[in-house]
Amino acid sequence: MDCIFCKIISKKIPSDIVYEDDNTIAFLDISPVNKGHTLIVPKKHSENLIASEEKDIHESLNVIKKITPAIIKTVKADGWNLGVNNGPAAGQIVKHTHFHIIPRFSNDGLKHWHKKSYAEAESKQIAEAIRKEI
């Protein structure tokens, strides 16, 4: 498999691992948004969050809850974002499910996404269409 995260999991590529158990690994991002930016990766390969097994998602979330306080304390962050990019349009570069813990600082210059508006009655139509798909 040519997945860079699978190679990190199998220790074929070095990384700065901050946590590891039987099912999950967490390591520092090599191109961090801010210092302490950490990736949480299920060891079982899946292309994205929707393709992941529920247990892998739950285990990843438990690891996120466990390690985030240590990350925030270490880098003295004011807050943090949790990100999951799914698909190229959403910024997913590595096709292996992973979560980003991004420490945030009051003056780090990062901006949240731009807001858009719905046309009149458009939100009701979209909500109805989503409910039908579920």
Q: What percent of the chain has pLDDT over 70?
A: 99
Quick check: 35 and 75 in contact, CB under 8 A? yes
Quick check: 110 and 80 in contact, CB under 8 A? no
Quote the strand ranges of 48-129, DSSP E. Answer: 79-83, 99-104
The catalytic residue among 96, 98, 112, 114 is 98
Confidence of residue 102 (pLDDT cuts 50, 70, 90): very high
pTM: 0.91
Beta strands 24-28; 79-83: pairing state:
unpaired
Quick check: 126 and 118 in contact, CB under 8 A? yes
Total number of domains constituting the chain: 1
CATH for 110: 3.30.428.10
Q: How confident is the model at residue 113, as a pLDDT?
A: 79
Residue 65, amino acid: K
* pLDDT tens digits, one per residue of 65-84: 999 999 999 999 999 999 99
What average pLDDT does range 36-61 have in this prediction? 97
Structural domain of residue 32, as residue ranges? 4-133
**Distance of alpha carbon 72 from the chain centroid:** 16
User: For residue 19, is pLDDT > 70?
Assistant: yes
Mean pLDDT of the chain: 95
Q: How confident is the model at residue 114, as a pLDDT?
A: 82
Quick check: 100 and 39 in contact, CB under 8 A? yes
User: Any catalytic annotation for residue 98?
Assistant: yes
Q: How confident is the model at residue 112, as a pLDDT?
A: 80
Confidence of residue 1 (pLDDT cuts 50, 70, 90): low
Q: How confident is the model at residue 69, as a pLDDT?
A: 97
Q: What percent of the chain has pLDDT over 90?
A: 92
